[in-house]
Amino acid sequence: MDPALETLDGSQTVGIDRAPDLFYEGNRAAVLAARLRSAAFAATVFAGSFLLFVIEPLVTKRILPWFGGGPAVWTVCFVFFQAALLAGYATCHWVMRQTRPVQAAFYAVAIAATCLSLPVEPARWWNQPVMDPTLSIFRLLTLTIGPTFLLLSCSGPLLQAWKPVISAEASPWYLFALSNLGSLAGLLSYPLLIESRLGLRDQIRYWSTGYGVWAVAAMILAADRYSRMKTEPDACKNVAGPAFGLRCMWVLLSACPSALLLALTGHLTQNVAPAPLLWIPPLALYLLSFILCFEGRGWYVRKLFGTAAGIGFGVAAVLIDDRSISAGIGADIAIWCGIGFILFMVCHGELAGLRPVAGNLTTFYLSLALGGALGGAFVSLAAPVVFRSLFELPVVLSVTAAALTALFCTQGIGRTTGAAFVAAATLYASFLLATDPVAGPKDGWVIHERTRARNFYGALSVSDREAPTGSVRILRHGTVVHGMQLQAPLDSRTPTTYFGTHSGVGLAITRLQERGPIRVGVVGLGAGVLATYGRAGDSYRLYEIDPLAIRIANSEFSFLRDCLADVAIVQGDARLSLAGESPKGFDLLVVDAFSGDSIPVQLLTIEAFRIYARHLAPRGVVAVHVSNQFLALEPVVSRSGFQTIGESRRVHDDAVDRPFDLASTWVLISSDPGFFDDPRLISASAPVPPMPGPQAWTDDFSDLYHVVRR
């Protein structure tokens, strides 16, 4: 028996899927036609999924600069795509309940209508600052790619629902695996092949051309559907709908891995390694688990993966409870990805085991999409409001463990997995993490947490660390330090972290102060450490997009209120604010917005540096903070600066024997050749190595993959 036809109770589906074989038997021409039709369906399903997973990063990258360039933009876009997927599956479910002519006509008209909206290009009038852009992003994506994305989402399950009754193939489920293979191919192709070779305008043009080719193929299949409708059996006729409890289990088993995917990605990029492109491995493993579980060759072995899941839950509980346990960044990433893959396999494997007969296929897909949207909405929309910090991973692990425990125990295999025990362990870890705001002594330090808060732009925490040598207050975004202040009154105005007197920006300020009072612009507030350099007569203008960061800098740190210079804070996107202001004549413009997993590419392009140049005094300097253990950004900054401002030098400070300074790398750019003649800059700086590749970064083209440190 074909395992794809086995239902939950062990019964077999007959008649609907096998009937076409009787028609084709003994007729070579019909068999050949059926195979060609099968190949056409497979190619169209694969191509549709490929296009779907290319348009997602393409459009997101296009609008990213308009909303601050932070990781939350990607997260909100992901939630939109899940919601649009749900809408597409719901549309498919409705279409399949209509008459055959209505099905074919609806599909053909929808394809033609979406082709009229090509090319997919967000309108420039969306380019405006907003405080919390979640709703604006949803509106933009709905009006820009909503109909096209909905049709591509609808096409996959619709073509799979049509296929069993018009070909000799016995089951449509391998098409579901094939669609996920297309998604995986699109996911990997974009950063590795497409983004590194094409600008955004070319990407949009080529994608629109590919969509047109796909639309022609889909239109042909719709016409074929219409021509054959009188001779086909109806897969939905006389098929009882699934039980309510079974639908709930479908939703739950799809919601858990969806939520786990986002929670795990957030944990990796903010608590393990703030590396760009680190979102790719979890998503690739998520799609791979779909492929393996629905491909039909028995890759999922319940006892094997169930036992591995039990071990994985226990390891996850230990790692979350004690973050000092680490095998190194690479090993930690591998461990977390391994845990995620095992849990993806268990959830999707159980889903594959609960799949219905062909007549309920669209109901099944609708339930999967609903679960995926609910899981994504919990992590992306609810968690930032409900939790003070990144608590969603232990919560999602707890819910997943409880769901699998209930499923396994009801089927008599709970003892073999130990799921109940690990569920309790994970719940305990979640409780411990959520209720223990004060960490214990570590390496001679006693850590007292003062506050945690989060919003659209991320999670911030402030803590005091006390040691025999003194007390220091630290601001963090995830695991990344954004500022540090010594608490002794005589030391509170000492520049620390990446802004010490030996850093690139410290040397630049010291050099410029020799001229007299200076005007300084700063992109990125942090804790306000740079204000320690302010003297009477100086002017500091700080640009910060996150209102939470401004509140914390004013309430938890005294850098700003103790500054002797004139200080002004501009809330909003720095590039958009600078673009809309008259020239400020800055002697120094500091660009410090490069910590964390998402690099604001729009601050590194030639167009951005043209804006910086417009705001500089005749002998002004731009100082760009490029400290990053994963990306080599110095050549990118140097090339953009050379084409718009002038000479550049790299200043790296190891901060050896200075406990309150952190290693930093800065690129200084100036049109004044004499600026770099200072002996201190001569000894501390070095030429910037050439940028790999022939093309500088612009608003239309940027390529993170080729600047990843290897």
Ranges 224-238, 326-340, 632-646: which has the least confidence: 224-238
What's the pLDDT tens digit per position in 80-108? 888 888 898 888 888 888 887 788 888 88
Using the 8-state DSSP alphabet, how is residue 12 labeled? Answer: B
503 touches 664 (CB < 8 A): yes
Percent of the chain with pLDDT over 90: 32
Phi and psi for 94 in degrees, rounded to 5?
-70, -45
- Tell me: pLDDT of 447 over 60: yes
Q: If you average pLDDT over residues 166-181, what whole number do you get?
A: 67
The amino acid occupying position 199 is G
635 touches 688 (CB < 8 A): yes
Residue 412 lies in a domain: no
Residue 75 lies in a domain: yes
Q: List all residues 6 or more positions away from 184 whose beta carbon is below 8 Å from its beta carbon.
A: 53, 284, 287, 288, 291
Residue 104 lies in a domain: yes
Closest-CA residue to 635 (of 691, 710, 697, 695): 691
**pLDDT value at position 669?**
96
Using the 8-state DSSP alphabet, how is residue 521 labeled? Answer: E
Categorize the per-residue pLDDT at 3 as very low, low, confident or very high, splitting at 50, 70 and 90.
very low
Cis link prior to 583 (omega < 30° from 0)? no
Residue 600 lies in a domain: yes
Residue 163 lies in a domain: yes
Q: If you average pLDDT over residues 381-398, what whole number do you get?
A: 81
**pLDDT value at position 288?**
93
**pLDDT value at position 6?**
37
Question: Beta partners for 230?
Answer: none
344 touches 263 (CB < 8 A): no
Q: If you average pLDDT over residues 567-592, what whole number do you get?
A: 93
Of the two residues 360 and 230, the one the predictor is more confident about is 360
Question: Beta partners for 446?
Answer: 466
What's the pLDDT tens digit per position in 504-545? 999 999 999 999 999 999 999 999 999 999 999 999 999 998
Measured between alpha carbons, how far is 106 from 102 in angstroms, rounded to an integer? 6
User: Could you say which of 236, 265, 294 is where a domain stops?
Assistant: 236
**pLDDT value at position 706?**
75
**pLDDT value at position 10?**
35
Percent of the chain with pLDDT over 70: 79
Question: Beta partners for 473?
Answer: 464, 485
**Which range is most confident: 453-457, 553-557, 674-678?**
553-557
The span from the first CA to the last CA of the chain, in angstroms, equals 50
Burial of 399 by CB count in 10 Å (0-12 exposed, 13-18 middle, 19+ buried)? buried
**pLDDT value at position 22?**
40
User: Could you say which of 184, 219, 236 is where a domain stops?
Assistant: 236
The amino acid occupying position 268 is L
Categorize the per-residue pLDDT at 24 as very low, low, confident or very high, splitting at 50, 70 and 90.
very low
**pLDDT value at position 238?**
55
What's the pLDDT tens digit per position in 581-630? 999 999 999 999 865 545 688 899 999 999 999 999 999 999 999 987 77
Ranges 372-386, 433-447, 619-633: which has the least confidence: 433-447
Residue 463 lies in a domain: no
Structurally, the chain folds into a number of domains equal to 2
Strand order in the sheet with 446-455: 446-455, 458-467, 470-477, 480-486
**pLDDT value at position 710?**
66
What's the pLDDT tens digit per position in 486-511? 998 889 999 999 999 999 999 999 99
Using the 8-state DSSP alphabet, how is residue 520 labeled? Answer: E
Categorize the per-residue pLDDT at 11 as very low, low, confident or very high, splitting at 50, 70 and 90.
very low
> CA 399, 404, 406: angle at the middle one, nearest 5?
95
Task: Give CA separation, 182 vs 49, 187, 189, 249, in Å.
Answer: 5, 9, 10, 26
Task: Give CA separation, 180 vs 92, 295, 632, in Å.
Answer: 18, 10, 33
Using the 8-state DSSP alphabet, how is residue 708 labeled? Answer: B
Closest-CA residue to 144 (of 115, 118, 174, 168): 118
273 touches 370 (CB < 8 A): no
CATH code where residue 556 lies: 3.40.50.150
42 touches 175 (CB < 8 A): yes
Q: If you average pLDDT over residues 227-235, what whole number do you get?
A: 58
Measured between alpha carbons, how far is 468 from 204 in angstroms, rounded to an integer? 59
What tokens were used for 531?
């204000």
Of the two residues 355 and 292, the one the predictor is more confident about is 292
Phi and psi for 582 in degrees, rounded to 5?
-70, 160
The amino acid occupying position 77 is C
What's the pLDDT tens digit per position in 400-419? 888 888 787 766 554 545 55
The amino acid occupying position 518 is I
Measured between alpha carbons, how far is 250 from 255 in angstroms, rounded to an integer? 9
What's the pLDDT tens digit per position in 547-558? 999 999 999 999
The amino acid occupying position 709 is R
CATH code where residue 172 lies: 1.20.1250
62 touches 122 (CB < 8 A): yes
**Which range is most confident: 189-193, 287-291, 302-306?**
287-291
169 touches 668 (CB < 8 A): no
Measured between alpha carbons, how far is 684 from 705 in angstroms, rounded to an integer? 29
**pLDDT value at position 7?**
35
Residue 2 lies in a domain: no
- Tell me: pLDDT of 130 over 70: no
- Tell me: pLDDT of 480 over 90: no
DSSP string, 425-467: HHHHHHHHHHH--S---BTTBEEEEEEEEEETTEEEEEEEEEE
DSSP string, 391-437: -HHHHHHHHHHHHHHHHHHHTT-HHHHTHHHHHHHHHHHHHHHHH--
Residue 181 lies in a domain: yes
User: Could you say which of 194, 215, 236 is where a domain stops?
Assistant: 236
The whole-model pTM stands at 0.75
Categorize the per-residue pLDDT at 176 as very low, low, confident or very high, splitting at 50, 70 and 90.
confident
Crossing angle (nearest 10°) for helices 100-116 and 71-95: 150
Average pLDDT, rounded, for the chain: 81
Categorize the per-residue pLDDT at 275 as very low, low, confident or very high, splitting at 50, 70 and 90.
low
**pLDDT value at position 92?**
86
**pLDDT value at position 590?**
97
Q: List all residues 6 or more positions away from 305 whose beta carbon is below 8 Å from its beta carbon.
A: 342, 345, 346, 349
Residue 607: give the domain boundaries: 493-707
